[in-house]
Amino acid sequence: MPITEFKIETQSGLSPALEIPTKADYHREFADDPEKAEYFVKVRWLETVPVEKAFHEVGFFGNQNSACKPQTPKWRKTTDRLKEHFTKWDI
């Protein structure tokens, strides 16, 4: 979803992402340019843990983007292992 349409839940209710002060500028100057604008992906977390209990194994699939099209065998291995560790995945 383009940053111009994305809303974030705050203590005051839903607010447009561009109106929330952050350390990241999200390339605000490109907000109206579909080719250069930031796009957000809404996530509903089913289960979370403190960072001290983070789960990681060598060989897990990783990508610097928040959303990507999984095309490697590592992706399937990673999701299968995470499903074993985080049991609420199919809620």
Q: What is the pLDDT of residues 13-24, one digit of tens each?
A: 999 988 888 777
Minimum mean pLDDT among 13-22, 28-37, 51-60, 63-72: which range?
A: 63-72
Does this model's pTM top 0.85? My answer is no
Range list of H helices, the chain: 73-85
User: Are 66 and 41 contacting, i.e. CB atoms less than 8 angstroms apart?
Assistant: yes
Q: How far is CA 36 from CA 3, 6, 29, 30, 40, in A?
A: 11, 16, 9, 6, 13
pLDDT digits (tens, 9 = 90+) for 24-35: 777 888 999 999
Q: Percent of the chain at pLDDT above 70?
A: 97
